[in-house]
Amino acid sequence: MFESIDTSLIDWSRAQFALTAMYHWLFVPLTLGLAMVMGIMETVYYKTGSAFWKKTSQFWQKIFGINFAVGIATGIVLEFEFGTNWSNYSMFVGDIFGAPLAIEGILAFFMESTFVAVMYFGWNQVSKQFHFASQWLTGLGATISAWWILVANSWMQYPVGMQFNPDTVRNEMVDFLAVAFSPMAISKFFHTVMSGWVLGAIFVVGVSSWYLLKKRHIEFAKASIKIGATFGIVASLIVAFTGDISGVQIAKLQPMKMAAAEGLKDGGNGVPFTVVGNIKIPKMLSILATHDIDGYVPGINNLIDGGYKLANGETALSAKEKIERGKKAIVALATYRKAVKEKDVAAKAEAKKVLDENMQYFGYGYIKDPNSLVPPVGITFWSFRVMVGLGGFFILLFIVVWWFHRKDKYQNMPWLQKIALWTIPLGYIACEAGWIVAEVGRQPWAIQDMLPVNAAISKLQTGSVQLTFFIFLILFTIMLIAEICIMVKSIKKGPDVLE
């Protein structure tokens, strides 16, 4: 069904998609986080009628708008790449994957773009109540947009709600609710969106701490820190909770990703968690992965060799057995289509039976070497530790900042203010590390166990992909630099009337 593709084309196409996705994710979390922070601030203004809170909300709205505009540009490019660089993927599962993206574009993005205009230009044009609603509806639109994007991504991690149609050679949606509300989608939504909230809180606390260091806009900074630190504590704890849920799901549905994130070659019962090097916490990985102190966690070698007992009592197949069954499915599909063409009813029925029996392993038929099923262990292992380690640090920082602010001592602690300021880039690093674990840890699959990247790609000239890679790299870098410069200029200027 899919033609053999040059490996260099695969590598460059993956690199281009990774480049676009990582640049896009520099802008999205701050959008999600600031939407909540400025919504809280306008709520205070709505309740009190204080001009102070109005100007405070307007300042963070300005920063939100700068970030929001650049994020849209990278997001549009990202969606188009599914058609240009991954056309086999789009053909194979477009009926399913396209639905949440269409809903996101028609409903959520339309909602954002409508109310964002009222939010910025309607302060003196609409009622206080309508502007208050527009503020929250803009944030809600951004969050709903994230929901549908994450539904699409979660389906790639855990494909459900579909049925393969051998006549069209496409997977077709049969249960929309299963796709839209799969356990993977729900946990990924909360974990990802809350990580954006954490970044927004880090940004607000960090920028406000800079004002304290410069002894400018003191009351504005103190008010923003109070909201940012409180909001950050709540969001960080939710991220930790949803991360635990995600860990159990990954261990069950994507065990190779779990093994790579732990660097676990050989699994077993009561497996320890490796912090770094030889520092291990006894039985902790089993607890995290199964919520059972003696739970079985397979390692990389176990997943390749098979033979261990699954939770349902069945024996796990080896990678070679899955590959053989995948090849049977591919041959059966070709036989089925030939039988349809020749109107051979008996051959068609027999081929359909073989296809149905082996369709679960269809994607494995395009895997040439069982060892290629192992994702890059080093980058997955360290990205996971960066994400978790920084997440713990953020919780601690928010609590410390909140405590000293509550005691009215934070204003006189420049060392802590500097830590808060320099935590801003760490927030971005943590967000990117999370996506590296999610996407690199899933390789070589475009769709988990269903379609590997070597079968999902478009047949393009490698040189064309290389050229556009460097064009995007230059353009996105210019956009990023421009955004940083504009935001820094706005921050240096500060809120308008709070000198």
Least confident of 47-56, 76-85, 468-477: 76-85
Phi, psi (deg, nearest 5) at residue 165: -105, 105
% of the chain exceeding 70 in pLDDT: 98
Average pLDDT, the chain: 91
pLDDT band at 107 (very low <50, low <70, confident <90, very high): confident
Q: Which of 318, 303, 307 is nearest to 264 (CA)?
A: 303
For residue 489, pLDDT beyond 80: yes
Q: What is the pLDDT of residues 420-431, one digit of tens each?
A: 999 999 999 999
Which two structure tokens, joined as six digits, stand for 201?
A: 């809180």
Q: What is the mean pLDDT of residues 482-493?
A: 93
Which two structure tokens, joined as six digits, stand for 70?
A: 């650049």
For residue 2, pLDDT beyond 60: no
Q: CB 336: neighbour CB atoms within 10 A?
A: 23
Left, alpha or beta for 80 (phi > 0: left; psi -120 to 50: alpha)? alpha
For residue 497, pLDDT beyond 80: no
For residue 71, pLDDT beyond 90: no
**How many Å from the N-terminal Cα to the C-terminal Cα in the chain?**
67
Of the two residues 59 and 78, the one the predictor is more confident about is 59
Phi, psi (deg, nearest 5) at residue 281: -105, 115
Q: What is the pLDDT of residues 423-460, one digit of tens each?
A: 999 999 999 999 999 999 999 999 999 999 989 888 88
Q: Which of 80, 57, 365 is nearest to 224 (CA)?
A: 57
Q: What is the pLDDT of residues 386-399, one digit of tens each?
A: 999 999 999 999 99
* CA–CA separation, 498 and 58 (whole Å): 12
% of the chain exceeding 90 in pLDDT: 71
Alpha carbon 40 to chain centroid, angstroms: 25
The three-point CA angle 110-114-119 to 5° equals 140
Domain ranges of the chain: 7-254+376-493, 275-361
Alpha helices in 407-495, H assignment, sequence order: 414-422, 424-440, 453-456, 462-493
For residue 110, pLDDT beyond 80: no
* CA–CA separation, 68 and 145 (whole Å): 13
Half-sphere exposure of 225 (CA within 13 A, CB side): 31
Q: Which of 135, 82, 140, 131 is nearest to 110 (CA)?
A: 140
Q: What is the pLDDT of residues 352-372, one digit of tens each?
A: 999 999 999 999 999 999 999
Least confident of 118-122, 169-173, 292-296: 118-122
For residue 401, pLDDT beyond 60: yes
Q: What is the mean pLDDT of residues 59-75?
A: 85
Q: What is the pLDDT, as a whole number, of residue 112?
A: 76
Q: What is the pLDDT of residues 221-253, one digit of tens each?
A: 999 999 999 999 999 999 999 999 999 999 999
Name the DSSP class of 315. B
Q: What is the mean pLDDT of residues 108-115?
A: 77
Q: What is the pLDDT of residues 249-284, one digit of tens each?
A: 999 999 999 999 999 999 999 999 988 888 899 999
Of the two residues 409 and 497, the one the predictor is more confident about is 409
Q: What is the pLDDT, as a whole number, of residue 114?
A: 81
* CA–CA separation, 403 and 154 (whole Å): 37
Q: What is the mean pLDDT of residues 179-202?
A: 94
For residue 416, pLDDT beyond 60: yes
What's the pTM value of the predicted model, to 2 decimals? 0.91
Instruction: Give the residues across from 171 on adjacent strands.
Output: 164
CB 442 within 8 A of CB 448: yes
Q: What is the pLDDT, as a whole number, of residue 123?
A: 86
Q: What is the mean pLDDT of residues 50-56?
A: 91
Give 367-374's long-range contacts (Cβ < 8 A, gap of 24+).
Answer: 367/319, 367/323, 367/326, 367/444, 367/452, 370/304, 370/318, 370/319, 370/320, 370/323, 371/304, 372/444, 373/256, 373/303, 373/304, 373/319, 373/444, 374/256, 374/260, 374/300, 374/304
Q: Which of 62, 436, 55, 445 is nearest to 223 (CA)?
A: 55
